């Protein structure tokens, strides 16, 4: 976000652009969910009737969506109102596989819009909005981490821990806390049949999805449990796991320090903890050049901070930052830590700690 945004001339023009962009992201989310970007990928110029027919959707809605896409510069339009999704746009916005794409991130805007009334109420009265109020959150989150975690897991994330691959091949016990739909763990369980995997999460809906998927893939080395980790410092099995992971799952905890202490407790001596969490300085004034600053502060206010406060938690917020993270990790017992950045993931830091 340019420094001039707040005060100098050009603000009005910037504001109109931002307003258009906000509206456009709602339509991008719809294009993703309805498969319209996929239907336009590689077909060349098309009219609204052909596109509606191809995608099995209502033509009147498709035509208006194309209007938003064309005026927003996502698709091209010619003089006969035919439309083209350029190849470089299709590369970013259509599905290559089951995993998402940049269009998937636009869904967060709609997910947050859905709880606006609850959040406004919190501005007046404090408190928070519980996880279960966020419709489609786990579905969208799993698409998000499908890109930031799943695709990079074996080639970029596991190699952050020297020797881990070999240990996984030999057979170790692994825990993923706040696993959501458990896609990272499901992938690992398939790759390393000699190791045992466990995923825990607060969400019954997400855990049910993960269990069904494990069954569908006929994986016998994985289990999922619905569990609230708020008092994990007391409830964690001592020295039970060789490797523990959390992907984007500490900052929105009600009691993050308790969870980190529990992770320390549940690691075997010499066990390793890998924490992926949001990259931030922890100070607004040094986050102004963060490429995702406004998005992350919005997600934090309208979700991460709020779900924690709803559970009588600390409400750390997504932008808690490295210094706070290091402070809490140190209090939990982790003083030997390394922080990595990975090229594919501008949103997160990767902390590697040995017990
Ligand atoms: C931002 S999501 C990340 C999910 C998953 N790790 C991923 O990357 O897709 C955070 C997860 O932490 C879970 N969570 C939040 N508070 C929890 C708690 N007290 N106990 C267990 N899980 C919790 C949420 O249900 C959610 O699935």
Contact present, 148 and 350 (Cβ < 8 Å)? no
Closest-CA residue to 174 (of 138, 206, 221, 215)? 221
SS3 73: coil
Residue nearest to atom 10 of ligand 1 (CA): 249
Angle at 149 between CA 349 and CA 347, to 5 degrees: 35
Q: What is the C-alpha to C-alpha distance for residues 188 and 167, in angstroms, rounded to an integer?
A: 13
Mutation pick for ligand 1 pocket among 105, 150, 202 (CB with most ligand atoms within 8 Å): 202
- Name the pTM for this structure: 0.94
> Rounded to the nearest 10 degrees, what angle do helices 137-145 and 204-216 cross at?
50
Distance 36 CA to ligand 1 centre (A): 30
Query: What percentage of the chain has pLDDT greater than the value 90?
Result: 91
* Per-residue model confidence as pLDDT tens digits over 14-45: 999 999 999 999 999 999 999 999 999 999 99
* Per-residue model confidence as pLDDT tens digits over 263-306: 999 999 999 999 999 999 899 999 998 999 999 999 999 999 99
Closest atom of ligand 1 to CA, residue 228: 20
Q: Which domains does the chain have, with CATH numbers?
A: 3-95 (1.10.10.10), 116-354 (3.40.50.150)
Residue nearest to atom 15 of ligand 1 (CA): 253
Mean pLDDT of 207-216: 98
């Amino acid at each position: 976000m340019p420094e001039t945004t707040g005060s100098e001339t050009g603000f009005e023009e910037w504001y109109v652009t931002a307003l258009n962009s906000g509206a456009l992201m709602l339509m991008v989310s719809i294009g993703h969910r309805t498969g319209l970007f996929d239907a336009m990928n590689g077909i060349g110029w098309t009219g609204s009737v052909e596109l509606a027919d191809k995608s099995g959707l209502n033509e009147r809605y498709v035509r208006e969506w194309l209007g938003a896409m064309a005026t927003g510069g996502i698709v091209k339009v010619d003089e006969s109102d035919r439309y083209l999704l350029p190849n470089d746009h299709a590369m970013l916005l259509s599905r290559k596989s089951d995993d998402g794409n940049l269009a998937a991130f636009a869904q967060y805007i709609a997910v947050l819009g859905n709880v606006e009334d609850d959040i406004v109420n919190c501005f007046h009265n404090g408190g928070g909005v519980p996880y279960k109020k966020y419709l489609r959150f786990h579905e969208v989150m799993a698409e998000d981490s499908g890109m930031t975690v799943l695709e990079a897991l074996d080639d970029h994330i596991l190699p952050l821990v020297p020797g881990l691959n070999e240990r996984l091949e030999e057979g170790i016990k692994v825990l993923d806390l706040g696993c959501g739909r458990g896609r990272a763990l499901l992938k690992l369980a398939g790759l390393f049949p000699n190791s045992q995997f466990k995923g825990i999460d607060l969400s019954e809906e997400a855990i049910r999805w993960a269990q069904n998927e494990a069954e569908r893939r006929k994986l016998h080395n994985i289990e999922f449990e619905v569990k609230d980790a708020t008092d994990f410092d007391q409830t964690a099995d001592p020295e039970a796991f060789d490797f523990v992971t959390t992907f984007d799952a500490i900052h929105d905890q009600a009691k993050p320090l308790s969870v980190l202490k529990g992770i320390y407790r549940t690691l075997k001596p010499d066990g390793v903890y890998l924490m992926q969490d949001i990259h931030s300085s922890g100070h607004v004034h040094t986050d102004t050049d963060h490429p995702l600053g406004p998005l992350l502060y919005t997600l934090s206010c309208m979700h991460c901070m709020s779900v924690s406060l709803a559970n009588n938690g600390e409400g750390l917020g997504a932008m808690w930052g490295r210094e706070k993270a290091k402070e809490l990790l140190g209090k939990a017992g982790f003083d030997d830590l390394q922080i990595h950045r990975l090229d594919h993931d501008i949103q997160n830091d990767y902390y590697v700690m040995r017990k």
